[in-house]
Amino acid sequence: MTIISLKQIGGEIARWACRQSPYGMPENLDLVLTQFYQRAGPDFVMFQTSPWDRWKEFRDRAQLEWYIGDRLIGTGFKAWNRPKIDNGAPFAFVSVTSGPPPDHDFIDLDALLRNVSVALWREAESERESAGPAAAKTGK
């Protein structure tokens, strides 16, 4: 079991959405994050008085990835997977040095969810390892 904060998840969603976007950031990023927080917030335990200081336990990385994807559905997240201008071609030629114009590109949502969950899980493992042997045995 690994404990991850709501704020950490939101930060990783924003980080990877911006990194994978053909633009500086995807459209409606703020709206997607706000709706994600509204959907996920009640599932997290608040340890402090701040509504942002909420935590949840996850048994493994796959559960974390599923959870994030499930809470993002219906937030405008799926629109990131469609190009602004659809040229109708089922395939596009892309090389190492060139790609489609930004308006014809999109964000691979499966890759985004995987990147978010892997980054969060690695961070949690690193924190657990730095906390010492007792924390590594308990998984917290």
CB distance 128 to 4 below 8 Å: no
Q: Which residue's structure tokens are 């709706």? A: 35
CA torsion sign for 63, 66, 69, 72 is: negative
Domain ranges within the chain, ordered by starting residue: 2-138
Task: Put residue 57 in one of left, alpha, beta given phi > 0 → left and psi -120 to 50 → alpha.
Answer: beta
3 has pLDDT over 80 = yes
Short-list 43, 17, 42, 44, CA closest to 31: 17
pLDDT at residue 80, as a whole number: 86
Which DSSP string do the residues of 31-44 spell out, in sequence order?
A: HHHHHHHHHHGGGS
Q: Which residue's structure tokens are 């404990």? A: 3
Portion of the chain with pLDDT greater than 70, in percent:
78
Q: How do residues 108-140 score in pLDDT, each as one tens digit?
A: 899 999 999 999 999 999 988 888 765 555 555
Average pLDDT, the chain: 84
Q: Which residue's structure tokens are 């911006």? A: 18
Token pair for 5: 């904060």
Q: How do residues 18-54 score in pLDDT, each as one tens digit?
A: 999 888 899 999 999 999 999 998 999 887 667 667 8
